[in-house]
Structures are given as C-alpha cells and as structure tokens.
Copies of this chain bind each other. A is one copy, B any other.
Amino acid sequence: MNSASGGGDSNPGDFQPTERTRIKRLHQRAVYDRAGVYAILDAGLVCHVGYVIDGQPFVTPTAYWRDGDRVYWHGSSASRMLRHLGRGAPVCFTVSMLDGLVLARSGFHSSINYRSVIAYGKARLVEGEAEKLAALEAFSERLTPGRWARLRPPTEQELKATTMVSLDLKEVAAKVRTGPPADDEQDYDLDVWAGVVPVTCVTGPPEDDSRLKPGVERPAYLNNMVVG
C-alpha cells in the first residue's frame, strides 16, 4: 500500500488529491491509486453516509456496493437521508475497516491498523427502472453470486418503495495503516509486550430459516463471503 504514498507512482486513472482529499498528516498512509481504492471498497459492506440538514450533521450507516466508477446505496423511499441526498445535497461517503490493534510500549504510539476510503460529491437519484434493477442485481451478485436469478423478482411496488442513489467516484482518497508499532528508540528496552493483534470480520455457519422448504440445500456462496 505504501508504494502509492504521496502520489509517487501514479497512473493516468488515479485520483488527484484535492484540498479535501489530500492526506496532510502521516501522508505515508495515503492511497490515491484507483485499484487500491477499489480493493478497499470491494471488501466492505457497510458505509457511513454524512449529510447536513439545517447545519446539523447526520451520519447514517447503510449497506453499499460498487459498480464501475460509482458506489450505490439504497433504502426506503421514506428515508430522510435518501430524500435529502436525492435533491443533490453534498455528501461524504466513508468506509472503514478495522484490521488490528497496534500495541506499542507507550500509549502515545499505540494505534490501530485499518483501511478507509472517503469520497465527496453529490449523490444522484437512480430513477430508471432498468438501472435500478441492474444495480440491485450487482449488489446481490457481489455477495452471493448466482442467487439473484433464483429469488422472487422485485415487484413494481417494491421498486417504487425503494429509493436508490449513486455517487461518482471522482474526489476520493484512502488511508491505510499496516504493520507493527513504531516505538521511541529508548522504549524498546521496556519489559512490556508489544505487537499487533489482528482483527478480522468473519462469517459464521449459516443458520437455516425455520421455514426453509424441505430439500433446499445450502448454496456454496455461503462459505465464501467477504464482508470486511
């Protein structure tokens, strides 16, 4: 990840830091290359959407997915967040995943390992039924490949009750910390354990619905889900 630091080896498609996305402190943690950013986005499932109403900040957690150079999220058409963003309000889209606890020999140098992405812009209301359906399918296939074709398809009423927005990935930066603690030189002599405790998000054994139709088997995708 550090090879992308400070924009050293940039490709034509990479993100250009703006005033808002330039990582000013600890810039060795910055990631602007598109592949690095997309890899983080594709590993996550829940984002935190920031928006402003009457000067008050709101942060709503919700599921998201990426399709090409956009991220999507959706919810009830009655959602305050979606109604507000659908009118073109500025948004801050944040994804973060905890990867480890970094236990240094002082509190000051203790830290966490993580991957995070922040994107700014204005969300766009997805209005066409075809785009909505394609995006819902992409969301389903990202987690459970092959499942969409077996589900009962969405009804017209369900599509109407679902509001969906997308955000073009234009003003984007990621920040990543990996590796061991970096202690002050004189602290390495202390008799205290130091190192990293890795943290992972894992899926457990699937729980069959109590009304599962007899004979229906567990699909293979249940064992291969990436959720962080």
Query: Chain A interface (Cβ within 8 Å of chain B)?
Result: 20, 24-25, 45-46, 48-52, 55-61, 63, 76, 78-79, 90-94, 96, 98, 101, 103, 105-108, 110, 112, 114, 116, 118, 120, 136, 140, 143-144, 147-148, 150-155, 158, 161-162, 180-181, 183-184, 187-213, 215-219, 222, 225, 227-228
Contacts and interface: CB of A to CB of B under 8 A. Distances in A.
A97 B34 CA distance: 27
A48 B56 CA distance: 15
Contacts of A196: 206-207, 209
A126 to B, nearest CB: 15
B63 A112 contact: yes
A106 B147 CA distance: 10
Contacts of A209: 180-181, 194-196
B25 A78 contact: yes
A25 B105 CA distance: 47
Given A50-B59, A90-B57, A204 B213 contact: no
16 contacts: A50-B50, A56-B90, A57-B58, A59-B93, A60-B94, A98-B227, A101-B227, A105-B152, A106-B158, A150-B191, A193-B218, A193-B222, A197-B222, A199-B203, A199-B204, A200-B202
Contact of A48 (B48, B105, B180): B48
A154 B50 CA distance: 34
Given A158-B108, A199-B203, A216-B193, A152 B59 contact: no
